[in-house]
Amino acid sequence: MHGSTHLAGGLLAGAIVAQVSGQSAPGHIMAGLAVAGMAGLVPDWVQINLPGANSVVKGMMGHRGISHWALTALVVYAIAHAGGFEYSLYVLGGWLSHIALDIISGGVAVFWPLPGRLTLANVKTGGQHDKIMGACLLVLATTIIMGVIW
């Protein structure tokens, strides 16, 4: 998925976290949305790229490697939560939204070291379906947030 779609997915995850957690303070919700939106982008920013490594340990290095594992998302959440970061659920939601979107954009080795990639579809990054999905995610996030705040 394109970065803007991942951002929209992170915002939707943040809206869901705000709704489920019962947050009502607009300032707290907006900060949480910012955190979730950024967390929706982070897995692609922190991927480990070592020349030749992805062919040696397939699914661990490179794009959609270690930063795209469900376990990594849980470890990041646990570290944020243990550190007292009050927005740790927003981090988890945004990170998991990234993984979920990549599952429908060619697949991810979510449960590595188990073999294979979890793939539900093959939406082309930057294609029309990607753009439509990003717009729909943003509209849905906005709708949820407006309902939470008002």
The pLDDT score that the predictor gives to residue 113 is 76
The structure tokens 């951002």 sit at 7
The answer on pLDDT for 126 being more than 70 is yes
Considering its fold, how many domains does the chain have in total? 1
Ranges 9-13, 65-69, 119-123, most confident: 9-13
**What is the three-class DSSP state of 125?**
coil
Alpha carbon distance 66, 111 (integer Å): 10
The residue segments making up the domain with residue 120 are 3-149
pTM beyond 0.85: yes
Alpha carbon distance 98, 55 (integer Å): 23
User: How much is the average pLDDT of 96-107?
Assistant: 94
Alpha carbon distance 65, 56 (integer Å): 12
* pLDDT band at residue 48 using 50, 70 and 90 as cut-offs: low
